[in-house]
Amino acid sequence: METQGLKGWFISLEGGEGTGKSTQIAVLAEALSAQGLSVVVTREPGGSPKADLIRSLILDDRMVGLNSMAELMLYEASRAQHIAETIRPALESGKIVLCDRFADSSIVYQGGARGLGLKLVDEANRIATQGLEPDLTLFFDLDPLVGLERIGSRGVIDHMERERLEFHTMVYEGYKRLAQENLVRIKSIDASKTREEISEDILKIVLKKIKD
Ligand code: TMP
């Protein structure tokens, strides 16, 4: 069970807006807990008290139009703090960490869609994470138009979610490319299925990973 010198399992969930990650992370946590496994659910940006302060700064409406490099640095600052405060301690004590977004989000959003470049963001990720990578990443594969429609019907949207469809399409294409390039770590989930089917698919993949 040991990975990267740590006892636990680090699993990230990635995908565009409205793909159902938050719903599924809760279902997965409950299913794993029911099997007697110790689970920590967390998210980025944020995921610890101090990182959450950085999150509220990033998502503040007054930050619209923030310089892309400054934005990347805030995500990386949040990530470094999140790892120190939440992820690493949980992995060291053998827990399963389920993380809603991680470094792949920076690659796809800041590196691809915001145009900072994949190499630069990869390097920034490496500095912030000190090489910590998820053991498994679940990519929620859903047409961005469907995702945006789902968000629209939820009522409350933040400025990131209001970005034009073109941006979300770039995000989607970015994830698809990343998934193709990392076939071992990243597993694609057909997020157009029903909630129950998606939950089943995810649980199968996760149990296979942690029981193998
Ligand atoms: P959320 O919608 O999952 O709460 O995420 C908040 C927004 O932050 C979402 O639009 C994606 C964005 N994001 C990045 O642009 N880069 C990152 O590194 C992370 C973690 C999130």
Q: Which two tokens stand for residue 78?
A: 């949040």
Region at 44 (left for phi over 0; alpha for psi -120 to 50; beta for the rest):
beta
3-state DSSP assignment of residue 163? coil
Residues (pLDDT < 50) of the chain are 1-2
> Is the CB of 104 within 6 Å of ligand 1?
no
Residue 36 Cα to ligand 1 midpoint, Å, equals 31
3-state DSSP assignment of residue 42? strand
Please list the residues that pair with 188 across neighbouring strands: 139
Query: Residue 165: CB partners within 8 Å, gap ≥ 6?
Result: 144, 145, 148
Residues 55/45, Cβ–Cβ less than 8 Å: yes
Instruction: State the pLDDT at residue 152.
Output: 77
Instruction: State the pLDDT at residue 160.
Output: 61
> Is the CB of 109 within 6 Å of ligand 1?
yes
Give the CATH class of 9-211.
alpha beta
Residue 196 Cα to ligand 1 midpoint, Å, equals 25
pLDDT digits (tens, 9 = 90+) for 25-67: 999 999 999 999 999 999 999 999 999 999 999 999 999 999 9
> Is the CB of 10 within 6 Å of ligand 1?
no
Instruction: State the pLDDT at residue 1.
Output: 42
> Is the CB of 168 within 6 Å of ligand 1?
no
Site to substitute for ligand 1 among 109, 118, 138, 165, most atoms within 8 A of C-beta: 109
Nearest to 125 by CA among 67, 82, 91: 82
3-state DSSP assignment of residue 17? coil
> Is the CB of 78 within 6 Å of ligand 1?
no
> Is the CB of 105 within 6 Å of ligand 1?
yes
Nearest 5°: phi and psi at 83?
A: -65, -45
Instruction: State the pLDDT at residue 2.
Output: 41
Residue 109 Cα to ligand 1 midpoint, Å, equals 8
Instruction: Return the CA Rg of the chain.
Output: 16
Residue 143 Cα to ligand 1 midpoint, Å, equals 18
Residue 82 Cα to ligand 1 midpoint, Å, equals 14
Nearest 5°: phi and psi at 134?
A: -65, 150
Q: Rounded to whole angstroms, how far apart are CA atoms 134 and 184?
A: 11
> Is the CB of 114 within 6 Å of ligand 1?
no
Q: What is the DSSP letter of 156?
A: -
Residue 105 Cα to ligand 1 midpoint, Å, equals 6
Residue 118: alpha-carbon gap to chain centroid: 17
Instruction: State the pLDDT at residue 133.
Output: 97
> Is the CB of 44 within 6 Å of ligand 1?
yes
* Sequence spans of domains, the chain: 9-211
